[in-house]
C-alpha cells in the first residue's frame, strides 16, 4: 500500500520543498493546497498531511486538520513557525519552520507507522 501525503501550505517554495523530500523518499503526494477549500477537497485518499497554521485564507490550519482527521482519518503533522496557534487539535505533533529533510521524513514515518524514527525536531502531541 502506498502512503499518500497532502501538503497544506501557501508558501509555494516551502510546499515544493516538502513535496521534493516526500517524493524522493518514495511517498506519493496527492497535491499542494493553499487554503481550506482546496485542502478539504484533496484530503480523501490521503494517509497523512503536513499542515501549516496560517494559510492564504487566514489561520485555518487547525480547523482544516480537525476536519481532515474527523472526516477522512488523515493523520496530521503541523509544519509551522507558530506552534502556539495549534490549540486543542488532535494531531501527531508539529515541526518548526525552518525544517530539515530528516525531520520531515521522521514525521512521515511516524504518520505511516513505518518504523518511526525519533527526531528531536518532531514534537509529538499524542
- Residue-level pLDDT at 28: 97
Q: What is the DSSP string of 20-73?
A: HHHHHTT-EEEEEE-SHHHHHHH-TT-SEEEE-SSBTTBS-HHHHHHHHHHHH-
pLDDT for 23-56, tens place per residue? 999 999 999 999 999 999 999 999 999 999 999 9
- Residue-level pLDDT at 101: 95
Cell of 36: 481550506
Task: Provide the percentage of residues in the chain whose pLDDT is more than 70.
Answer: 89
pTM confidence score = 0.92
In a 3-state reduction of DSSP, which class is residue 19? helix
CB 104 within 8 A of CB 119: no
pLDDT for 62-71, tens place per residue? 999 999 999 9
Amino acid at each position: 500500500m502506498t502512503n499518500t501525503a497532502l501538503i497544506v501550505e501557501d508558501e509555494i517554495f516551502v510546499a515544493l520543498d516538502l513535496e521534493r523530500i516526500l517524493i524522493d523518499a518514495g511517498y506519493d503526494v496527492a497535491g499542494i493546497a493553499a487554503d481550506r477549500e482546496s485542502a478539504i477537497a484533496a484530503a480523501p485518499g490521503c494517509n497523512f498531511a503536513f499542515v501549516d497554521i496560517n494559510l492564504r485564507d487566514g489561520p485555518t490550519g487547525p480547523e482544516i486538520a480537525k476536519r481532515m482527521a474527523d472526516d477522512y482519518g488523515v493523520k496530521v503533522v503541523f509544519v509551522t513557525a507558530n506552534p502556539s496557534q495549534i490549540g486543542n487539535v488532535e494531531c501527531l505533533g508539529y515541526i518548526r519552520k525552518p525544517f530539515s529533510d530528516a525531520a520531515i521524513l521522521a514525521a512521515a514515518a511516524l504518520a505511516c507507522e513505518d518504523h518511526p524514527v525519533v527526531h528531536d525536531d518532531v514534537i509529538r502531541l499524542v
